[in-house]
Amino acid sequence: MNVKKTRTPRGKRDSTDAEAGTGDAQTTPPNSRTLQKEATRAAILQSALLIFSERGFDGGSTRDIAAHAGVHHALIKYYFGSKDTLWRAAVTFLFERQAAEMSFEPPAAAATAKSRLSRRDHAREILRQYVLYCARHPEHARLMMQESLRDSERLQWAADTFISGTASRAERFVQMLQREGVLPDVSVPALVYIIVGSAQLFYTLAPEVRRVWGIDPADEAVTAAHVEALLAVLVR
């Protein structure tokens, strides 16, 4: 990461490339200062995602996060208030990005495709999108897993704020597939965790996969093989 604004003595930034993204209108044209502020905040958030996802909330120190982002650790309080708030901001970022990149529940949205694609093909496409998301952003599952394997106030907050909604969409998705005969008529929560587990684990445990199997889940070909395997097993 590292903001590394080609620092002059202290936090001075070279305003050469500062005027890059003037996409917005009216609302006060972004100063080099507000731009830099945004960059610093984003750098901290991204570093927090990485550190928290690999070491957990307790294991990841704010100083490590700041160092990885190339900023002073006091800026974490300045921008996010506390370690806890930073963690919540990271989780919020993850779920909002997921919502933006993936419409897990297009059973209704992509209804137009229903005519051309069979329900089975439709299920395949959704699952494929989900696996690709897991491959693209493995830190999402990693960070959430760190919190979900023990009960805590953070898990409670995440469950109420984000996980429950995602779970509801997954539940409807599974029930739809059951009605269509794609999935067997068994426990829905079990099916959800079977699908999620079989899609996620290969990427959350990528370090183990590399070391034990000598392949890299980040490789496109490897991911393609995983998608093929998952679809062959799940969608009968």
In the complex, what is the shortest distance from the CB of residue 139 to a copy of itself, in angstroms, rounded to a whole number?
A: 9
Tell me the window of 1-9, 98-106, 159-167, 190-198 that interacts with DNA (CB under 7 A): 1-9
- The answer to whether 4 contacts DNA (rule: CB under 7 A) is no
- The answer to whether 191 contacts DNA (rule: CB under 7 A) is no
- The answer to whether 68 contacts DNA (rule: CB under 7 A) is no
Eight-class DSSP state of 149: T
| Residue 123 near residue 235 (C-beta atoms within 8 A) | yes
Query: What SS3 state is found at 20?
Result: coil
* Member of 48, 60, 127, 143 binding DNA (CB under 7 A): 60
- The answer to whether 75 contacts DNA (rule: CB under 7 A) is yes
- The answer to whether 31 contacts DNA (rule: CB under 7 A) is yes
Could you give the count of Cα atoms lying within 13 Å of 59 in the half-sphere of its Cβ? 11
- The answer to whether 15 contacts DNA (rule: CB under 7 A) is yes
Task: Decide which of a copy of itself, DNA, none touches 47; Cβ closer than 5 to 8 Å per partner kind.
Answer: none
Instruction: Count Cβ neighbours within 10 Å for each residue of 122-133 and write b for 16 or more, e otherwise.
Output: bbbebbbbbbbb
Query: What SS3 state is found at 163?
Result: helix
- What is the C-alpha separation between 107 and 228, in angstroms, rounded? 21
- What is the C-alpha separation between 151 and 52, in angstroms, rounded? 17
- What is the C-alpha separation between 227 and 125, in angstroms, rounded? 10
- The answer to whether 210 contacts DNA (rule: CB under 7 A) is no
Longest dimension (CA), the chain: 66
Task: Decide which of DNA, a copy of itself, none touches 232; Cβ closer than 5 to 8 Å per partner kind.
Answer: a copy of itself
Q: Which residues contact a copy of itself by CB under 8 A?
A: 53-60, 142, 145-146, 148-151, 155-156, 159, 163-164, 167, 183-184, 186-187, 189-191, 193-202, 204-213, 215, 222, 225-226, 228-230, 232-234, 236
Task: Decide which of a copy of itself, DNA, none touches 110; Cβ closer than 5 to 8 Å per partner kind.
Answer: none
Centroid of chain to Cα 182: 27
Can you give the binding site for DNA, defined by CB under 7 A? 7-13, 15, 31-34, 36-37, 40, 60-64, 71-79, 82-84
